[in-house]
Structure 1
Amino acid sequence: MSVLHAQVEQLLRSASTRPAPQPWEMPIAAYRQAGENLRALSGPVDERCTVDDFTIPVREGVVAARRYRPPAAGSTLLPGVVYLHGGGFVRGSLDTHDRLCREVCVQGGLIVVSVAYRLAPESRYPAAHDDAGDAFTWVSEHADASGIDGGSLAVAGDSSGGALAAGIALASRGHGPPVKAQGLLCPALDATMSSDSVDRYADGPFLTRAALEWSYDLYVPDADDRRSNLASPLLTRDLTGAPPAVIVSGQIDPVADDARRYGEMLAAAGIEVRSHEYKGMPHSFPLLAGVLDDGGHAITVFARGLSDLLRQVRTPVP
C-alpha cells in the first residue's frame, strides 16, 4: 500500500484544522487567490536571473508572458523553454510559477518564457490550447530576439500545463515550429480520466478525482472533445517522431498513471524518455519545494534533464 512521505504528512498536519472548501464551493476568484497563496510554500526566490514581462500576440489578442535569462547569459544564443503553468485550466499565473521558472532557468542554463494563457470558465476549450500553441510559434519565430537558439527550443508544463505542452510537442511532428524536447511535471494527460490512479488516489491530497473532474467540466465540457488527441494526448495512438521527454511525477497522485503510461508509450515508439516518479509525493509537489525536499530535488532533475536533451547533438535519420 502506498503511503505519503513523512514531510507531506507533516505539511497536512500543520495546515488549518478547519476543512478547506471544495473548489466548486467558492467563487472562481477566491479559488484563484487560494492558488496564489500557495506561493508561500514554494521556497526562496533565486534573484540571479534577469526577468522581464511582455506580451505575445495570439489569434484572440495578446497573452502576458515573462522571460527569464540565466546569469551571465551574454550574447551567445542559449537553449530555451516555453513554460505553461498548471492549475486545472482554471487558475495559475505567471506569479504562481515564478519560483519554478527561475530555478529551471538558473539550474538548466536555459532561457525560459512563461506564458499566461486564457483560463476557464471564461474561456473554454480549445482557448488555452490555442493560446499555448500560438505563443510557442511566436517564441520560435522570434527566438533570436530573446537570445534563444531556435533549433533548441522545448515546451514544458505542469499538471494541465503538461497537457498543453504534450499537445504542442505531438502536433509539431512533421509541421510547425520544431520542438526539440518536452518537459512534463505531474502531467494530466487524459481528460477522460481513464487511468487507474484516478480512482486509486481519488481522495488526493492536493488533487482529488472530484476536483479533477470539476476542472475538466469547466474547460472541456463536451465528451467528444475530451476524447480528442488535443485534449487528451495520452489517447494518441501513434507517438512516432515525438520529441524526447523529461517526465517527473508523484506517486500519490490521481494522474500518476498518466505520466507513467505516456512515458511507456513514448519509449515503445523509440523516443528517449527520462522518467522520475517520487515515492510518497502528491500532485504538483515541485511547487511546494519550500517545505518538501523532494520538490526541490525534482526541479533540479527536471531542469538538468531538459538542459541535457536540448544540448544534445542529434544525427538526422537518413
Structure 2
Amino acid sequence: MSVLHAQVQQLVHAASARPTPQPWEMSIADYRQAGENMRALSGPVDERSTIEDLTIPTREGAVAARCYHPPAAGPTLRPGVVYLHGGGFVRGSLDTHDRLCRELCVQGGLIVVSVAYRLAPENPYPAAQDDAVDAFSWVSEHADGLGIDVESLAVAGDSSGGALAAGIALSSRVQGSPVKAQGLLCPALDATMSSDSVKRHMDGPFLTRAALEWSYDLYIPDAADRRSGLASPLLTQDFAGAPPAVIVSAQVDPVADDARRYGAELAAAGVHVRSHEYEGMPHSFPLLAGVLDDGGHAITVFARELSDLLR
C-alpha cells in the first residue's frame, strides 16, 4: 500500500485545519481563485529569466501567452518548449505556473512559451486542444523571432495540460509539426478514467476521483468524445514514431497509472522514454515545491532531461 511522504502528511494535516469546499460546492470563479492561491506553496521565484507577454492568434480569436528567455541567451537560437498548464481544464493560468516555467527556462536553458488556453465549462471540448494546437503551430512558425531553434521544439504540460501536450505530440506524426520531444508532469491521459489508480487513490490527497470526474464532466460532457485519441491520448491505437518523452509522475495519485501505461505504450513502440515516479508524492507535487523537497527535485530532473532530449 502506498504511504504518503512525511512532508505530504504534514501538508495534509495543515490543510485539514482549514477545510475547503469540494470543487462542485463553490462557484467556478471561487474554484479558480483557490487555484491562484496555491501559488504561495510553489516556492521562491527565480528572477533570472527575461519575460515577455504575448498574444497568439487562434482559429477562434486569440490566447494570452508568456515567453521566458534564459539569462544571457545571446543571439544563438535555443531549444524551446510550448508549455500547457494543468488545472483540470477548468482552472490554471499563466500565473499559477509562472514559477515552474521560470525553473524550466533557467535550469534547462530553454525558451519556454506558456499558453493560457480557453477553460471549461465556458469552453468545452475541443476548445482547449484547439487552442493548444494553434499556439504550438504559431510558435513553430515564429520560432526564429522568438529565438527558438524550430528543429529543437518540445511540447510539455502537467495534469490536464499533459493530455493536451501528449495529444499534440502524437498528432504531429501525421501533421508534420516539429515536435522533437514531449514532457509530461503527472499527466491525466485517459478521460474514461480506466486506470486502476483512479480507484486505488480515489481519495487523493489533492486530487480525488470525484474531482477528476467533475472536471471531465465539465470539459468533455459527451462520453463518446472521451474515447478519442485527442481527449484520451492513452487510448491511441498506435504509438510508433511518437516523439521521445520525459514523464514525471506521483505514486499516490489517481492518474498515476496513466503515466505508467503511457510510458509503457511508448516504450513498446520503440520510443525513447525517461520515466520517474516519486514515491509518496501526490498529484501535481511539482507545483508544491515550496513545501515539498521532491517537488523541486522533480522540476530539476524534468528541466534537465527535457533539455537533453532537445540537444
Scaled by the length of structure 1, the TM-score of the pair is 0.97
1:263 aligns with 2:292: no
In 1, the alpha carbon distance for the partners of 2:107 and 2:139 equals 21
Counterpart of 1:115 in structure 2 is 115
Map Cα deviations across residues 275-295 of structure 1 (whole Å, 9 max, x no partner). Answer: 000000000000000000000
Counterpart of 2:240 in structure 1 is 240
Map Cα deviations across residues 45-75 of structure 1 (whole Å, 9 max, x no partner). Answer: 0000000101000000000000000000000
In 2, the alpha carbon distance for the partners of 1:58 and 1:142 equals 14
Q: Which amino acid aligns with 2:110?
A: L
Give how far 1:174 is off: 3.2
In 2, the alpha carbon distance for the partners of 1:15 and 1:184 equals 27
Give how far 1:121 is off: 0.3
Counterpart of 1:47 in structure 2 is 47
In 2, the alpha carbon distance for the partners of 1:203 and 1:303 equals 30
- Aligned to 2:129, the other structure's residue is in SS state helix
Counterpart of 1:315 in structure 2 is none
User: Does 174-183 or 106-115 show the bigger shift?
Assistant: 174-183
- Aligned to 2:8, the other structure's residue is in SS state helix
In 2, the alpha carbon distance for the partners of 1:124 and 1:303 equals 31
Give how far 1:19 is off: 2.4
For the aligned residues, what is the CA RMSD? 0.6
In 1, the alpha carbon distance for the partners of 2:270 and 2:16 equals 47
User: Does 80-89 or 166-175 show the bigger shift?
Assistant: 166-175
1:147 aligns with 2:147: yes
Map Cα deviations across residues 289-311 of structure 1 (whole Å, 9 max, x no partner). Answer: 00000000000000001000000
In 1, the alpha carbon distance for the partners of 2:67 and 2:177 equals 19
Counterpart of 1:182 in structure 2 is 182
Map Cα deviations across residues 110-150 of structure 1 (whole Å, 9 max, x no partner). Answer: 00000000000000000000000000000000000000000
Show the 5 A alignment for 1:1-318: 1-311=1-311
Q: Which amino acid aligns with 2:64?
A: A
Aligned residues: 311
Give how far 1:176 is off: 3.3
In 2, the alpha carbon distance for the partners of 1:18 and 1:79 equals 43
Q: Which amino acid aligns with 1:131?
A: D
Q: Which amino acid aligns with 2:32?
A: R
- Aligned to 2:224, the other structure's residue is in SS state helix
User: Does 169-178 or 78-87 show the bigger shift?
Assistant: 169-178
In 2, the alpha carbon distance for the partners of 1:261 and 1:102 equals 29
In 2, the alpha carbon distance for the partners of 1:140 and 1:122 equals 28
Q: Which amino acid aligns with 1:144?
A: D
In 2, the alpha carbon distance for the partners of 1:10 and 1:20 equals 17
Give how far 1:18 is off: 3.9
In 1, the alpha carbon distance for the partners of 2:16 and 2:241 equals 48
- Aligned to 2:175, the other structure's residue is in SS state coil
- Aligned to 1:20, the other structure's residue is in SS state coil
Give how far 1:16 is off: 4.8
In 2, the alpha carbon distance for the partners of 1:2 and 1:212 equals 20
Scaled by the length of structure 2, the TM-score of the pair is 0.99
Runs of 4+ in 1 over 3 A off after TM superposition: none
Q: Percent identity?
A: 84
Listed as ranges, the gaps of 5+ residues in structure 1 are 312-318
